[in-house]
Amino acid sequence: MFATNMDSARDVGGAPSTVLIPMRFVWPYGGRSVFLSGSFARRWSELIPMTPVEGCPTVFQAIYSVTPGYHQYKFFVDGEWRHDEHQPYVSGEYGLVNTVLLATDPNFFHPNVTPEITSGSNMEEDTEAFRRLVRITDGNLTDVVPRITEGDLQGSRHRISVFLSAHTTYELLPESGKVVALDVDLPVKQAFHILHEQGIPLAPLWDFSKGQFVGVLTASDFILILRELGNHGSNLTEEELETHTIAAWKEGKAYLNGQIDGHGRALPRRFIHAGPYDNMKDVVLKLLQNEVATVPIIHSSSEDGTFPQLLHLASLSGILKCICRYFRHSSSSLPILQAPICELHVGTWVPEIGESNCRPLAMLRPSASLSAALNLLVQAQVSSIPIVDDNDSLVDIYCRSDITALAKDRAYAHINLNEMTIHQALQLGQDSYSPFEPRSQRCQMCLRSDSLHKVMERLANPGVRRLVIVEAGSKRVEGIVSLSDIFKFLLG
C-alpha cells in the first residue's frame, strides 16, 4: 500500500542517529493478526509483528526503538490497513496515518504538527523503561532514568486520589457472576469443604435469626481453628470439627482474643462492608485500616437496612484494575509509574547489611513444618511466606488460602501439624487449586528494576495477590510486594 519513497518523515529534526527511544505502540481493538509499520520501519517497507498483552487478548503491542523526530505509522490488521482514531493522525497522499513527535529540543516541532496535537498524544513508551533514553557509545548501552521529584510523587498521588473519589464500587460489579454466602449455623467442617470445593478463600456470613449479614469466614479462621484444635491432642479429629458451628467458633474466637464485655460475654465484632455507591477511595481506606483484603458490597432498598442483598466482594485487586485501565493510555500524567520499585521503597525487602529498624521478611525452607508456617502467618500478620532453598532462591510460596487444600480427602482429620512439612502440604494441594487461582499464578515474580507501572499491571490480574521480588538469574528472594503495599504507597 505504501511506497518506499514516502517522504513524510525523512530524518527530520537533525537529532543524532545514535539516540534511540524505545516506544510501545498499542493497538487496543483486537484482531487475529496485527502488524505495525511506519516511516521508522525501513520507510514503510517492514511489517513489525504485534503480540497480545498478557491477560488482555484484544490489546496488541510492539516495542520498537525510534530516533527523535517526526514519524508516521499505521497498523495492518487482518489484511487491512487501519489507523487509531484516538491517537493524533493526519490525512495525506496515502490516506490517514497516525503521527508521533519525539523531540530532544522542546522548541522543535514539525511544521505540519501543532503543539496541541503533540501534547495530546497518548503513545506509551516501553513499560520497561518509561522516558528512558538509550545512548549507544562505543557499543555500550547507558540507561538514563529521570529521577522522580517530590512534586511528581504528590501530583501522581493527587490524580489517583481524585480518580478513586470520583468513582463508586458500583463500577466494580461484574455483568454476571456468583457470590457464596454461608449460614452461621453451618458446621465448621461443612464450611471448610464448601470453601475448598468452590475454590474461594472467604465467604460472607448470614444470620437467619437476625436477617442480616454478620461477618466473614476466611482461610485465617481455619488456620486458627487447626492451631487451637492441635493444642488438645497430637492428631486432629473430624469429630472435633463437626461439633463447632461457625457461630460457636466466632464466639470462641472472641474469647481467645479477649474481646469480652464486663459480664464475660463475647463482644460482637463490627461487620465490615460497603455499599454500591460508596466511593472507591473510602473502600480502599476501609480495607487498609481493617487489614482485610475483601469487603462485601451489600445493598438494601429499604431505609432501615432490612432485606439486604449481597452484590459482590470488592477487593484491592479489582480497584487496582480500574486504576490501570483508566490511566493505561495516559501514563505520562502519573510520573511515578516510570520509577523502578526499588527506588520507591514499596513492599517488604530483605534488609541490606547494616540496615536497621526494618520490618523483617519472613521466609521458610521446604523442610519446615506446616505448624511453623501457620504460626508465622498468624504472628507476623502476613498473607504469604516465600519458600526458599539453602541459597534463598525462590522455590514456592505458601499462602493463607492454601490451608483449604487440607480439605482434600479429609486430610485435616489425620495429620499432625508438627510432622507435616511445607513441601508435603504443597504437594497435597498441587492438584487442588481452583480455576480461580491457577497454580501458575500463585508464585508470580518481578525484578527490583521493574517499573511501578509493570508491577501494578501484574497485580491487577485475577488471582495475583502479591509478587515476590527476585534477583535476575539466581531467583534469590529480595523482597515481596502486595496489593496493600501498592495502595499504601499510592495514597501516601
CATH number at residue 223: 3.10.580.10
Domain end: 67, 102, 137, which one? 102
Domain check: are 353 and 274 in the same one? no
Residue 129 and residue 124: Cα distance in Å, rounded?
Answer: 11
Long-range contacts of 57-61 (CB under 8 A, 24+ apart): 57/30, 58/28, 58/29, 58/30, 59/26, 59/27, 59/28, 60/26, 60/27, 60/28, 60/31, 60/34, 61/24, 61/25, 61/26, 61/27
- Give SS3 for 353: coil
If asked whether residues 358 and 283 sit together in one domain, one would say no
- What does each C-alpha distance from 410 to 153, 190, 242, 305, 421 come to in angstroms? 51, 11, 12, 39, 17
Please report how many Cα atoms fall inside a 13 Å half-sphere around the Cα of residue 291, on the Cβ side.
6
Residues 307 and 388 placed together within one structural domain of the fold = no
Strand partners, 75: 36, 82
Among 289, 319, 349, give the residue marking a domain's end: 319
458 falls within a domain = yes
Whether residue 264 sits in one domain with residue 310? yes
- Return the C-alpha cell found at 248: 460457636
Number of residues assigned to the chain = 492
Residue 163 domain-assigned (yes or no): no
C-alpha cell at 283: 473502600
CB 246 within 8 A of CB 186: yes
Full residue range of the structural domain in which residue 339 is found:
334-491
Query: Are 339 and 485 within one domain?
Result: yes
Q: State the Cα–Cα distance between residues 229 and 10, nearest whole angstrom.
A: 76
Residues 453 and 341 in one domain: yes
| Domain shared by 365 and 249, yes or no | no
DSSP category for residue 65 = E
Residues whose CB is less than 8 angstroms from the CB of residue 2 and which lie 6 or more positions away in sequence, other chains included: 37, 44, 74, 94
Q: Report if residue 229 sits inside a domain.
A: yes
Task: Give the Å distances, CA to CA, from 3 to 39, 93, 105, 110, 216.
Answer: 11, 10, 30, 22, 65
Say if residue 356 is in the same domain as residue 476. yes
300 and 347 part of one domain: no
Whether residue 348 is found in the same domain as residue 414: yes
296-331 exposure pattern, b = at least 16 Cβ within 10 A, e = fewer:
bbbbeeeeeeeebebbbbbbbbbbbbbbbeebbbeb
Q: Are residues 273 and 209 in the same domain?
A: yes
What is the 3-state composition of the chain as percent helix, strand, coil, each rounded to the nearest 5? 30, 25, 45
Chain center to CA of 359: 22
Domain contains 8: no
Show which of 45, 72, 102 is a domain's final residue.
Answer: 102
For 426-449, write each residue's pLDDT tens digit. Answer: 887 665 544 444 444 567 899 988
Distance, in Å, from the CA atom of 231 to the CA atom of 468, rounded to the nearest integer, reads 33
Residue 412, in any domain of the structure: yes
Tell me, yes or no, whether 14 lies in a domain. no
- DSSP assignment string, 228-291: HHHTT-SS--HHHHHT-BHHHHHHHHHHHTT-B-TTSPBPPPPPP-B-TTSBHHHHHHHHHHTT
Q: What pLDDT sits at residue 216?
A: 92
479 lies in a domain? yes
Position 230 scores a pLDDT of: 63
Is residue 142 included in any domain, yes or no?
no
Q: What is the CATH number of the domain that holds 54?
A: 2.60.40.10
Residues 373, 468, single domain; the answer is yes
For strands 140-144 and 348-349, give the pairing.
unpaired
How far apart, in whole angstroms, are the C-alpha atoms of residue 215 and residue 166? 28
Task: Domain count for the chain, please give it.
Answer: 3
Distance CA 295, CA 319 (A): 12
| Per-residue pLDDT of the chain in tens (492 residues, 90 and over written 9) | 443 333 333 333 333 434 666 677 889 888 888 999 888 887 787 888 998 877 778 888 887 877 777 888 999 998 888 888 888 888 766 678 888 776 544 343 343 433 333 333 333 333 333 233 223 233 333 344 456 788 889 999 999 999 999 999 999 998 888 899 999 999 888 888 888 888 888 899 999 998 899 999 988 888 887 777 666 544 445 565 667 788 887 776 665 555 555 555 555 667 899 999 999 999 999 999 998 889 999 998 877 777 899 999 999 999 999 999 999 877 778 889 888 898 888 998 887 544 444 566 788 999 999 988 988 888 888 888 999 988 888 999 998 888 877 776 667 777 788 888 999 888 876 655 444 444 445 678 999 888 899 999 999 988 888 999 998 888 889 899 999 999 999 998
- Nearest of 438, 383, 432, 431 to residue 192 by alpha carbon: 432
